[in-house]
């Protein structure tokens, strides 16, 4: 049985104290209300990581993640944060390839392949994001885009390394727009992603890969989305900034 995961991506929100207070609410609710085997992951800005990891100690149901990491191990890259640093403060996940990183910071599949290697080499699990823009969907190129993002971003990995990945399908047109992919649209792509993984590796690896949906996911639409056979949870943006909403989404798997 593959792992069910609900990951919150705070993006560039929450100052230090706001983040601690939000996280403290999340921990308390998760502790009291989450009864299933699902994993909650909170991906905060770098400044919170150490404190959140300390606060989460002893609560196996909550893990901490970063939102990016540099591809180099270390060196003269002013302003950047390495995977080793992220690991050293107790985070265990790193979001890679988010469409905002691709769009605003020019991250392409080749760069993301390097970042994936470095993150894995430092014992962290990438949450690797893929997804098409509205223009690409309207031009019916969405399957090709997904195929090439997987092929160029992560299919160079051997089976053992690939098995550490979480994949997140986030149609760019659904991110922060209030427009969610229908459960049928999301399931279609998730099934396609799983097929691609099976074709590259094998059915066992495909069957064990957690594939998250992201894009305007909220407590109302999450139950239907997460009921789809190939959707194993969500990558949650806006709704992860409200403890009640985030934990209600986590609780869909109770
Ligand atoms: O990483 C999260 C996604 O970008 C989704 O963001 P959203 O839930 O605000 O649409």
pLDDT of 179 reads 84
Query: Average of pLDDT values for 2-22?
Result: 98
Ligand 1 touching residue 235 (CB < 6 A): yes
Select the more confidently predicted residue: 176 or 63: 63
Select the more confidently predicted residue: 180 or 87: 87
Q: What values do phi and psi take at 45, rounded to 5? A: -60, 160
Considering only CA atoms, which of 200, 116, 130 is closest in space to residue 164?
A: 116
pLDDT of 177 reads 87
CA dist 163 and 26 (Å) reads 28
Which positions make up the binding site for substrate? 9-11, 176, 216, 237-238
> For atom 3 of ligand 1, which residue has the closest CA?
237
pLDDT of 108 reads 98
Is residue 138 pLDDT above 80, yes or no?
A: yes
Query: Average of pLDDT values for 84-106?
Result: 98
5 contacts: CB under 8 Å, gap ≥ 6: 38, 39, 40, 41, 166, 210, 212, 232, 233
Tell me what the pLDDT averaged over the chain comes to: 97
Select the more confidently predicted residue: 70 or 176: 70
Q: How far, in Å, is the centroid of ligand 1 from the Cα of 123? A: 25
pLDDT of 1 reads 77
Number of domains in the chain: 1
Is residue 118 pLDDT above 80, yes or no?
A: yes
Ligand 1 touching residue 221 (CB < 6 A): no
CATH of the domain at 140: 3.20.20.70
Question: Confidence class of residue 176 from pLDDT cuts 50, 70 and 90?
Answer: confident
Torsion sign across C-alpha atoms 15, 50, 168, 232: negative
pLDDT of 139 reads 94
pLDDT of 79 reads 98
Across 45-76, b (16+ Cβ under 10 Å) vs e yields beebbbbbbebbeeeebbbbbbbbbbbeeeee
Q: At 26, list the tokens.
A: 């999340």
Q: Are 213 and 169 a contacting pair, CB within 8 Å?
A: yes
CA dist 219 and 163 (Å) reads 29
Condensed to tens digits (0 to 9), the pLDDT of residues 231-250 reads 999 999 999 999 999 999 99
Q: What is the ipTM of this complex?
A: 0.99
Which positions make up the binding site? 9-11, 176, 216, 237-238
- Sort 147 into a burial class: Cβ within 10 Å, 0-12 / 13-18 / 19+: middle
Whether the predicted model's global pTM rises above the 0.90 cut: yes
Q: Which of 173, 238, 240, 245 to mutate to test the pocket of ligand 1 (most atoms within 8 A of CB)?
A: 238
Query: Average of pLDDT values for 117-135?
Result: 97
Quote the domain boundaries for residue 69. Answer: 5-253
| DSSP E strand boundaries for 97-195 | 125-130, 166-169
Annotated catalytic residue: which of 70, 98, 142, 190? 98
Residues of the chain with pLDDT > 70, as a percent, come to 100
């Amino acid at each position: 049985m593959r792992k069910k995961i609900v990951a919150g991506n705070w993006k560039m929100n929450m100052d230090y104290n706001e983040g601690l207070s939000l996280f403290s609410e999340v921990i308390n609710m998760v502790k009291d209300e989450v009864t299933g085997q699902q994993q909650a992951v909170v991906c905060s800005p770098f400044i919170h990581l150490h404190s959140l990891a300390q606060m989460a100690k002893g609560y196996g149901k909550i893990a901490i993640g970063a939102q990016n990491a540099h591809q180099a191990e270390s060196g003269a890259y002013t302003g950047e944060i390495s995977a080793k640093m992220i690991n050293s403060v107790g985070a265990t996940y790193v979001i890679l390839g988010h469409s905002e990183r691709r769009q605003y910071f020019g991250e392409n599949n080749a760069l993301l392949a390097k970042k994936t290697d470095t993150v894995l080499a430092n014992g962290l699990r990438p949450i690797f994001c893929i997804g098409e823009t509205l223009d690409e969907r309207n031009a019916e190129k969405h399957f090709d885009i997904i195929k090439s993002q997987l092929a160029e971003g992560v299919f160079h990995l051997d089976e053992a390394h690939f098995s550490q990945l979480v994949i997140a399908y986030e149609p760019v047109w659904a991110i922060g727009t209030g427009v969610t992919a229908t459960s049928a649209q999301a399931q279609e792509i998730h099934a396609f992603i799983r097929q691609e993984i099976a074709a590259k590796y094998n059915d066992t690896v495909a069957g064990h890969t957690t594939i998250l949906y992201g894009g305007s996911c909220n407590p109302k639409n999450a139950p239907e989305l997460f009921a789809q056979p190939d959707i194993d949870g969500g990558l949650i943006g806006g709704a992860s900034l409200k403890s009640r909403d985030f934990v209600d989404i986590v609780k869909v798997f109770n």
